Amino acid sequence: MPHIKVIYVNDGPGLLLGSMWNDYAYIEDQWPDRVKVVTLRMVPDRITSEWLRS
C-alpha cells in the first residue's frame, strides 16, 4: 500500500506536552513518509503537496 498516507490531527494543547509528543514522534518514525502527526496550526508547514504525492 505505497500510496496510503495517514494524518493524525490533534487540535489540543496536549500534543506538545512531553510524552505525548514523544509517542507521536515514535509513530512517525515507524512509517517515515507515510504518517504525519500535526496540530491544526502545523498543517500548512507539515502537510505539503509534495508529501501527499510522494
| Tally of domains in the chain | 1
pTM here is 0.76
Per-residue pLDDT band at 1 (split at 50, 70, 90)? low
Q: How far apart are CA 50 and CA 17, in angstroms?
A: 28
**What residue numbers bound the domain in which 44 lies?**
6-53
In a domain, 42, yes or no: yes
In a domain, 1, yes or no: no
In a domain, 38, yes or no: yes
pLDDT digits (tens, 9 = 90+) for 6-35: 999 987 777 667 778 888 889 999 998 899
In a domain, 10, yes or no: yes
In a domain, 35, yes or no: yes
In a domain, 23, yes or no: yes
In a domain, 16, yes or no: yes
